[in-house]
Amino acid sequence: MSIFDRIKHAIFGEAQAAPVPQPSAGGTTASAPTTQAAPAPTPASSGSSSSIQQASTPVSAGDASAPQADTTPRPTVDIEPILNAAVQKSGQKLDWRHSIVDLMKALGMDASLEERKELAHELGYSGDAHDSAKMNIFLHKALMKKLSENGGKVPADLLD
């Protein structure tokens, strides 16, 4: 798993349970059967993805709830309260809003130079990896942008 994926999972993994009830409130009765129908084809490992697609196609009455179920991991996840809670939980004075090192530490990750160099490679950093200050600034901005592109609600001042 890439470093970005680990960061994303650490942040979004905390919030994935929260968006699920929101679509259920719009159609509690319709959402429950659709959710039960989707896991049923999954154990049939021979063509589970095609079974899911076929199950989605005939459920014309549940089309409204099926896309909502598909989009539940995609709704915007507000990263600010999640990262603030992670900082509190760490017991350290960390500034995740300005420091990639502090952000990684808040998530309980290795924030070593080697890990940051690997993250820089993943995020397309083309500058000098020996200039860690410049690389760190790039990493923080690029990470905020990529989290935003992947469904994260990033504070506007961090997307400059």
Q: What pLDDT, in 10s, does the model give residues 137-160?
A: 999 999 999 999 999 999 999 997
Q: In the predicted model, what is the mean pLDDT of the chain?
A: 74
Per-residue pLDDT band for 24 (boundaries 50, 70, 90) equals very low
Region of residue 131 (phi > 0: left; psi between -120 and 50: alpha; otherwise: beta): beta
Query: Which residue did the predictor score with more confidence, 4 or 50?
Result: 4
Q: Which of the 8 DSSP states describes residue 98?
A: T
Give Rg (Cα) of the chain.
19
Task: Please list the alpha-helical segments (H only) found in the chain.
Answer: 3-15, 21-26, 28-37, 48-56, 65-71, 79-90, 100-106, 113-122, 132-149
Query: Which residue did the predictor score with more confidence, 110 or 74?
Result: 110
The domain spans of the chain are 3-15+76-158, 21-71
Residue 63 reports pLDDT greater than 50: no
Query: Which residue did the predictor score with more confidence, 25 or 107?
Result: 107
